[in-house]
Amino acid sequence: MRVRLHRNRPEPWNLRRQGLKHGWTVAFWAFEWFCEWIAYALSNWSFLEVLEYLSSFGVLIAVIFYFGESGNRLKQKHYQAWQVINTAQGKGGNGGRIEALQELNADGISLVGVDVSGAFLQRIRLQRANLARSNFSAADMRDSDLSFADLSDADLQSANLRQSILRSANLERADMTDADLFGADLAGADLSGAKLANADLRNTNLANLKWSDTLDLKNANIFGVKNAPEGFVAYALKHGATQKESDNP
């Protein structure tokens, strides 16, 4: 808020005129003296001071409304993100879904049951996301980060998860049939009851992996798996898994 200064009353013109040494400056000093009187008059006009207070009050009201409407703006942002995801459902490409999913997850919004099948989602970051019962079938998710995400009962059939980070992810009962997990990091992940038939598990990191004897690994390629838990490789080979360096038949 501006501080209003009350000006001193200007001296009479005859006194000002006496102090002028050059006649050609009279017009300029007369204009200056006239402006001083206007400024003096306005500085003592209370109405202008009231207007300044009202202006400051208006700014305060605007700030209050801005923060008061922040919840509605956040809801609108989430609505638009869901609109992007739902509009592109069943279509290939990105369609803005990477940004939309990451934005919702960053705001703590549950993504349970989201359907992004066939989408191009390379390098998506969905750490700790709630993606239970989601559909990522045939989605391209190479180099993504899904660490600590809940992907229980998710559909990941034919999903491309090459070099992705799935550390400590919950993949209980997830269907990863035909999924490409080449070089993925599954350290600490829970694969209890998951389906990995025909999946490419070459060079995956299986340190501290949680798994059960219901794991479906028929025709899964486990060549070069790293840090596999005790008994995992033997179980996999016994239940139809293979160890081929090449993915060619």
Diameter of the chain by CA atoms?
A: 116
C-alpha pair distances (Å), 162 with each of 6, 144, 159, 199: 75, 8, 9, 11
Q: Give the pLDDT score at 225.
A: 97
Alpha-helical runs (H) found in 92-136: 97-106
pLDDT digits (tens, 9 = 90+) for 25-58: 667 667 776 677 677 666 666 555 666 666 666 6
pLDDT digits (tens, 9 = 90+) for 153-164: 999 999 999 999
Dihedral class, residue 133 (left if φ above 0, else alpha if ψ from -120 to 50, else beta):
left
pLDDT digits (tens, 9 = 90+) for 138-155: 999 999 999 999 999 999
Does pLDDT of 4 surpass 60? no
Across the chain, mean pLDDT equals: 85
Distance (Å, rounded) from C-alpha 156 to C-alpha 132? 11
pLDDT band at 88 (very low <50, low <70, confident <90, very high): confident
How many CB atoms are located within 10 Å of the residue 38 CB?
A: 10
Tell me the percentage of the chain whose pLDDT exceeds 70.
73
Distance (Å, rounded) from C-alpha 181 to C-alpha 132? 19
Does pLDDT of 67 surpass 70? no
Instruction: List CB contacts of 23: < 8 A, sequence separation 6 or more.
Output: none
pLDDT band at 12 (very low <50, low <70, confident <90, very high): confident
pLDDT band at 1 (very low <50, low <70, confident <90, very high): very low
Does pLDDT of 217 surpass 70? yes
In terms of residues, how long is the chain? 249
Q: Give the pLDDT score at 42.
A: 64
pLDDT digits (tens, 9 = 90+) for 95-132: 899 999 999 999 999 999 999 999 999 999 999 999 99
Least confident of 1-5, 25-29, 90-94: 1-5
Torsion of CA 205, 210, 212, 216, to 10 degrees: -30
Q: Give the pLDDT score at 133.
A: 97
Q: 173 is written with which tokens?
A: 């009962």
Q: Give the pLDDT score at 227.
A: 97
Q: Which of 18, 67, 69, 10 is nearest to 37 (CA)?
A: 10
Distance (Å, rounded) from C-alpha 88 to C-alpha 194? 28
- Residue 160 dihedral angles phi and psi, to the nearest 5°: -95, 105
Distance (Å, rounded) from C-alpha 183 to C-alpha 128? 21
Q: Which of 36, 47, 37 is nearest to 4 (CA)?
A: 47
Question: Is the entire prediction scored with pTM above 0.85?
Answer: no
